[in-house]
Amino acid sequence: MRQNDGGWSPYLAGALSGLVGVLSVWFTGHYFGASTSFVRTAGMIERLLSPDHVARLEYFAKIARAWIGSGCSSSGSFSVP
């Protein structure tokens, strides 16, 4: 038995989600997504525990350039070569 619960069509929701993704790259040059937030949060937590280790990781050095700009401070911020 099928019930109409008033929810969105999965095809419409998928199409709109794809459109938002394309527009986000077109207008901002950045991808739309949530997984990066988890990675950055994990990096910030790890940076508190082991700043030297995080500074040596290529991924965090790359996002540090784009994300926070420059330098390494004694507070454990990302190192930018």
At 9-23, the pLDDT tens digits run 999 999 998 998 888
pLDDT at 11: 94
Q: Give the burial class of 80: count Cβ atoms within 10 A of its Cβ; 0-12 exposed, 13-18 middle, 19 or more buried.
A: middle
Q: Which amino acid is at 65?
A: R
Three-state secondary-structure class, residue 25: helix
Q: How far apart are CA 75 and CA 72, in angstroms?
A: 8
Q: What is the rounded CA–CA span in Å between residue 21 and residue 42?
A: 24
> Which pLDDT does position 65 carry in this prediction?
65
Whole-number mean pLDDT of the chain? 74
pTM greater than 0.95 (yes/no): no
Supply the pLDDT for residue 53. 85
Asked if residue 55 lies in contact with residue 79, where contact means CB atoms within 8 angstroms, the answer is: yes
